[in-house]
Amino acid sequence: MHEVVRIRPLAFHAAGGTEDWRVLGEGACAFFRTGSFGAGARLVGAIGEALEGVGTADVDLRPEGVTVRLIEAGGEYYGLTERHVELARLVSAAARELGAVADPAGLQTVQVTVDALDVPAVVAFWRALLGYRDRAGSPEDLIDPARRGAPFYFQQMDEPRPQRNRVHVDVWVPHDLAEARIAAAIAAGGRLVTDEHAPNHWVLADPEGNEACVGAAGAAG
pLDDT reported for residue 219: 72
Cα(178)–Cα(192) distance, rounded to whole angstroms?
A: 13
List of E strands, the chain: 22-24, 27-33, 58-62, 65-70, 101-102, 109-116, 133-135, 138-143, 152-156, 167-172, 191-197, 201-205, 211-215
Cα(219)–Cα(221) distance, rounded to whole angstroms?
A: 7
pLDDT classification of 208: cutoffs 50, 70, 90: confident
Report the CATH fold assignment for 112-215: 2,3-Dihydroxybiphenyl 1,2-Dioxygenase; domain 1 (3.10.180)
112-215 and 9-103 share a CATH fold: no
Domain 9-103 has CATH 3.30.1360.120: no
How many residues are given for the chain?
Answer: 221
Cα(120)–Cα(164) distance, rounded to whole angstroms?
A: 22
Q: Between β-strands 109-116 and 152-156, what pairing exists: parallel, antiparallel or unpaired? A: parallel
Domain ranges for the chain: 9-103, 112-215
Helix, coil or strand: residue 138: strand
The 10s digit of each residue's pLDDT in 123-175 is 999 999 999 999 877 778 899 998 889 999 998 888 776 766 688 999 999 99
Most distant CA atoms of the chain, gap in Å? 55
The 10s digit of each residue's pLDDT in 36-91 is 999 999 999 999 999 999 999 999 999 999 999 998 654 444 578 899 999 999 99
Question: If you ran DSSP here, which 8-state letter would residue 6 be given?
Answer: B
Helix axes 37-51 and 82-97, enclosed angle (nearest 10):
140
